[in-house]
Structure 1
Amino acid sequence: MPLVIERMEGVRSAALTWLLPSGCATDPAGIEGVSTLIQELLLRGCGGRSSRDDADAFDQIGGSRSASVGTYAMVVGASMLGRNVEKTLPLLVDMVRTPTMDEESLEASKDLAMQAIDSLKDDPQERAMLAARARHQPSPINRSGLGTKEGLEACTREVVMGHWQAHALPKGSILALAGDVDGSAIESQMNALLAGWVGSAPTPKIGPVGPRGYAHENDPSAQVQIMWIADAPTEASPDSILEKLLISVLSGGMSGRLFSEVREKRGLCYAVSAGYRGDKDWGTMTAYVGTTPQRAQESLDVLQAEIDRITSPAGAVTAQEFQRAKIGMKSSLIFSGESSGARASTIAADIRRLGRPRSLDEMAAEVEAVTLEQLNAYAQQRRWGSVTIQTMGQQGLKV
């Protein structure tokens, strides 16, 4: 298991991100949602301690912990004062290696997971996003992470514990710490705490891409949700920095083209945005508009027109837009560099997606090295390919 430690001068806090190969993509068919239950159960007692005792142990050292499920990994996180790292690590190792996962906690976790699924009825934006993702990405990376009610019901304690024991293993795991930390001391302590921990988890098999194209789901709401997804460069691709800058021009806050054209000038929507997500083997560009039934068709038309325009000579990125996008990206890097939690998370993600951690200076230099001519050349050869458009509202739209 890679262990990466970055000391940050001038901070007194420390943070940890531990990725374990047990994301929702690893859920077997028929028990979709087992990783969601594990996420909750990891916080409900371990190492022979009850849920309350475990919470008290973290409180006594002024630390906090978390668990969240992603597509590929279960993410265990913690933050603490630097002087308390040594006391925190045994508690986190207990979370990973000896969770209690008792029957009472399992039933309570199932209830919470069912409520999360039911809550989607009141969140049309999230439902539209999940529907678009399900139709765009290949199985099983197109899953929501919430699971299904049928899958949750099928999860017994034996099933849940067995899945965790088969996936919470060192090969495929990544541990990153940042902040006020002593690298050599942490390495020595973790080697002792993880003695005898061996094995590798099975890798999920990736199926064919989804059907993509256009789909509509009827919803009686007075709102209309529009999701737009296209493939994009992977995080490791040299083009990923160009894609990020291009999307920043489209959606870099209130000065972005989408906000200006769709909302500010025409008053078509209450929300509009675009974003990039890059992973090891895939990347996506996603755009979203939240509007009303009367303005939905024009909102989609203008959204598509702006996405297409930026790839044309007539819609070339201007010098002012370019500088604003670069400044915005470098500012985000500076802000993240001041947070030990953000740094630990970024380091772990870099190792999983790129195979190595990047320094803040390296990422800033990558942004600075791009020229306006390079960005426009990239934009004008950019093709969106097979796009997914998902709408949710009272009636479908023309695409």
Structure 2
Amino acid sequence: MQLSSKSSQTHQFIHRMVLDNGIVLLVAENPTADIIAARIFIRAGSRWDPPEQAGLSHLVSAVLTKGTEKLSSLEIAEQVESLGASLSTDATTDYFLISLKSISADFPEILELAADVLRSPSFPTAELELERRLTLQAIRSQQEQPFTVAFDQLRYMMYGEHPYALSGLGTEKTVAQLSQTDLHNYHRTHFRPDNLVISLSGRIDPGAAIALVNQVLGDWQVPPTPLPTLATLDVQTTPCRQAIAQDTQQSIVMLGYLAPPVRDGASSTVRDYSVLKLLNTYLGNGLSSRLFVELREKRGLAYEVSAFYTTRLDPAQFVAYIGTAPENTAIALEGLQSEIDRLRVTPLTGEELQAAKNKLLGQYALGKQTNAQIAQTFGWYETLGIGIDFDTLFQKQVAETTADAVQDVAQKYLTVPYVSLVGPAGAVDKLANYP
């Protein structure tokens, strides 16, 4: 049994190793509880789906655990339940994920099962058709939700031909056309040892982790074909306003701004990412956030109001949104816009800045409490290509952010927004310009 790795690195309590077949292994030794959590990241996801196959990653994740060359869907479920363990899959925009957790004594067995699912899925036809129907139902259901309709429209406006323009679920047309062969081709292309990051956290030391992963996956050889690469796609669209008329009880107003990806190698862009995360916390995170206090509590305009800034491989979205009564749509749009414009012209006070820092850093720390959260966080950083040291860098940059830096970043990115409107025709149509 091989106990060595090609290279290794230790950061705080995270050990990073590259195994001989290219698997990147991260280990966080945490003996507090008799649990081991693992996240197996595959560098895939809907960003890799061709436009005509939108929804492919999602469908692969839905069917992956429904059968292998050795086991049926029922046998897989029974084995997981007999161990009192968990095994699940997910496909996001920028990665594909297999999650597992068990007590330490049972972890080798659940890892063996996960390896079988990872390497030899059969994608049974009956299971594929069932998951296809469920996906189509989910797509139709989302078309009845004003927030989702507004966000779908915003993505199309901001990303154009880029894969980020499409929902991870795909469209009714593309999902209906996906075949079992498409799923097998996806698996053959992306599921390979040199495209994997395995992140473990729990009662296991690095030496034992290397031995176990080599025992289970060490014979998996790298195929002769090169790894799939992502083409660099520029996002070149023009900010505009668009509306979709729906007979809804409220209007949804969304403002979107193109913002930097986290993986950009420029140090200034990495700093901008951290500052925008801080701005997002100040604007839209919780009942004390600027948007909630000003637009809901003081002005009574919002049923809901918030902001989010996604972490992405490619240019991301900084989004602020409000749900409001249809008759208040125009004033809600003006109010939302003015609160963001304020960031460019009025520096945050020392008290506002420190409160936002405390909230962001506190929530960040709380997001790394459990073994599953630790495995997820560091595996995600490794998969993004920013490395496990980003954990320290991000916290340092947030702590060192000044009011001037906040204003500079706001002036750089939060300028002219894309505006997506959904609501009754009389409330939204007059606010759109459809350029």
Decide which moves more: 219-228 or 233-242: 233-242
Change (3 A) 1:16 1:150: same
Decide which moves more: 359-368 or 78-87: 359-368
Report 1:229-268 matches (<5 A).
229-236=256-263, 237-268=270-301
Alignment-derived partner of residue 245 in structure 2: 218
Matched, 1:188 2:242: no
Q: Distance in 2 between matches of 1:293 and 1:49?
A: 54
Q: Which one of 167, 171, 185 corresponds to residue 194 of structure 2?
A: 171
Q: Which one of 161, 166, 173 corresponds to residue 184 of structure 2?
A: 161
> Secondary structure of the equivalent of 1:18?
strand
1:197-245, CA deviations, whole angstroms, 9 ceiling, x for partnerless residues? 3135423435442454211111111221112111223324122221111
1:216 counterpart letter in structure 2? A
Alignment-derived partner of residue 399 in structure 2: 368
Q: Which one of 339, 356, 372 corresponds to residue 341 of structure 1?
A: 372
Q: Distance in 2 between matches of 1:212 and 1:3?
A: 42
| Contact 1:27 1:34 survives alignment (8 Å) | yes
RMSD: 2.1
1:392: how far off?
0.8
Change (3 A) 1:161 1:185: same
1:361: how far off?
5.3
> Secondary structure of the equivalent of 1:202?
coil
Matched, 1:19 2:41: yes
| Contact 1:269 1:295 survives alignment (8 Å) | no
Q: Distance in 2 between matches of 1:111 and 1:82?
A: 37
Change (3 A) 1:223 1:363: same
1:368 counterpart letter in structure 2? A
> Secondary structure of the equivalent of 1:90?
helix
1:359: how far off?
7.2
| Contact 2:259 2:413 survives alignment (8 Å) | no
1:152: how far off?
1.8
1:156: how far off?
2.0
| Contact 1:85 1:181 survives alignment (8 Å) | no
* Residue-pair matches, total: 396
Alignment-derived partner of residue 126 in structure 1: 148
Report 1:55-66 matches (<5 A).
55-66=77-88
Q: Distance in 2 between matches of 1:325 and 1:390?
A: 27
| Contact 2:67 2:73 survives alignment (8 Å) | yes
| Contact 1:268 1:291 survives alignment (8 Å) | yes
| Contact 1:141 1:206 survives alignment (8 Å) | no
1:114-139, CA deviations, whole angstroms, 9 ceiling, x for partnerless residues? 11111113322112112211221251
Report 1:6-155 matches (<5 A).
6-137=28-159, 138-155=161-178
> Secondary structure of the equivalent of 2:33?
coil
Q: Which one of 384, 388, 391 corresponds to residue 414 of structure 2?
A: 384
Change (3 A) 1:378 1:218: closer
Report 1:264-275 matches (<5 A).
264-275=297-308
Decide which moves more: 17-26 or 367-376: 367-376
Report 1:344-363 matches (<5 A).
344-358=375-389, 363=394
| Contact 1:22 1:164 survives alignment (8 Å) | no
| Contact 1:221 1:393 survives alignment (8 Å) | yes
**Structure 2 gap segments, 5+ residues each:** 1-22, 264-269
| Contact 2:50 2:163 survives alignment (8 Å) | no
1:398: how far off?
2.8
> Secondary structure of the equivalent of 1:255?
coil
Change (3 A) 1:386 1:353: farther
Q: Distance in 1 between matches of 2:143 and 2:400?
A: 46
| Contact 1:248 1:325 survives alignment (8 Å) | yes
1:21: how far off?
2.9
Q: Distance in 1 between matches of 2:42 and 2:232?
A: 19
Change (3 A) 1:378 1:227: closer
Q: Distance in 1 between matches of 2:233 and 2:394?
A: 33
| Contact 1:224 1:296 survives alignment (8 Å) | yes
Q: Distance in 2 between matches of 1:398 and 1:242?
A: 31
Q: Distance in 2 between matches of 1:135 and 1:206?
A: 19
**Structure 1 gap segments, 5+ residues each:** none
> Secondary structure of the equivalent of 1:284?
strand
Alignment-derived partner of residue 341 in structure 2: 308
1:284: how far off?
2.3
| Contact 1:26 1:203 survives alignment (8 Å) | no
1:348-380, CA deviations, whole angstroms, 9 ceiling, x for partnerless residues? 21112243113755544443233445434544x
1:47: how far off?
4.7
TM-score calculated relative to the size of structure 2 = 0.85
